[in-house]
Amino acid sequence: MKFGIVIFPGSNCDHDVYHVAKHVLGHEAAFLWHKDDGFAGVDCIVLPGGFAHGDYLRTGAMARFSPIMKAVEGFADRGGMVFGICNGFQILCEAGLLPGALVRNAGLQYICRDVFLRCDRQDTPYTGRIKPGTVLKIPIGHGEGCFFAPEETLKSIEEKKQVVFRYCDSGGQITTESNPNGSLRSIAAVCNERGNVMGMMPHPDRCAEEVLGNADGRRIFDSIVHSWTQARRTRL
């Protein structure tokens, strides 16, 4: 399959995602430039981590207006996979493709360390290979990853099962201590109602190889490939 990785000015995990897609998974990967207004032949769009436009003003605020985002929205409307990691998640929220907003960490500090995530649902293209309740160890690296949404939005997110991962402890328990940034309801990843667009603050792209001491992140990428394979089978 082919991953399309968007480069915004200030993206800095673009090469990391490219490496995973191409050299770890052995699939095709192409960079998409923020100034282009279209792309073709891509099966999954990834908005990588970084500090698009410096994250000045608000994270993701300026990036969402990049010409490429129109095409990304169209792709999402047609059911295409759109995966936002960290800054990519922040951009998707600003763009309204995902609910809520990501605000300053409760502790006010940037945090780079491993956290544990509990998978809440398997029926998304990003978790097809991960049973609900599974605990993954995935690093975070952000200063503004606190998921916030007004109460009514939270309610509907929960009702529609749009929470894909929550911060938890190594045993899968959702606790205040295991919530690194104060995210409401320990939300680490959400998807849209249809499930084809997902954003997550933790970085699966930083833990997809044994040489880095942890390959848990690979399971999310494997799921993406899996769902693509499934989809193609049904098409044929």
Binding site for another protein (CB under 8 A): 9-10, 12-13, 15-16, 19-20, 23, 49-51, 53-58, 61-62, 65, 93-94, 100-101, 103-114, 139, 141, 143, 146, 148-150, 182, 203, 205-206, 208-209, 211-213
| Residue 163 dihedral angles phi and psi, to the nearest 5° | -85, 120
> In whole angstroms, how close is the CB of 10 to another protein at the nearest point?
5
The residue among 229, 220, 206 whose CA lies nearest residue 19 is: 206
Residue with smaller CB distance to another protein, 147 or 227: 147
Fill in the DSSP letter of residue 204. Answer: G
Residues 11-22, buried b or exposed e (16+ Cβ, 10 A)? bebbebbbbbbe
Nearer to another protein, 203 or 219 (CB): 203
Alpha helices in the chain (DSSP H): 14-19, 67-77, 87-94, 151-159, 218-235
Minimal distance, residue 111 CB to another protein, in Å = 6
Q: How far is the CB of 104 from another protein (least distance, A)?
A: 6
By beta-carbon proximity to another protein, the closer residue of 41 and 213 is 213
Rounded to the nearest whole angstrom, what is the least distance from the CB of residue 107 to another protein in the complex? 8
What DSSP letter does each residue of 9-31 carry, written as one string? TTB-SHHHHHHIIIIIS--EEEE
Nearer to another protein, 87 or 127 (CB): 87
Determine the Cα–Cα distance for residues 219 and 236; give it in Å rounded to an integer: 25
- Nearest approach in angstroms of CB 112 to another protein is 5
* Spatial contact of 40 and 71, defined as CB atoms under 8 Å apart: no
Nearer to another protein (CB atom), residue 30 or residue 111 = 111
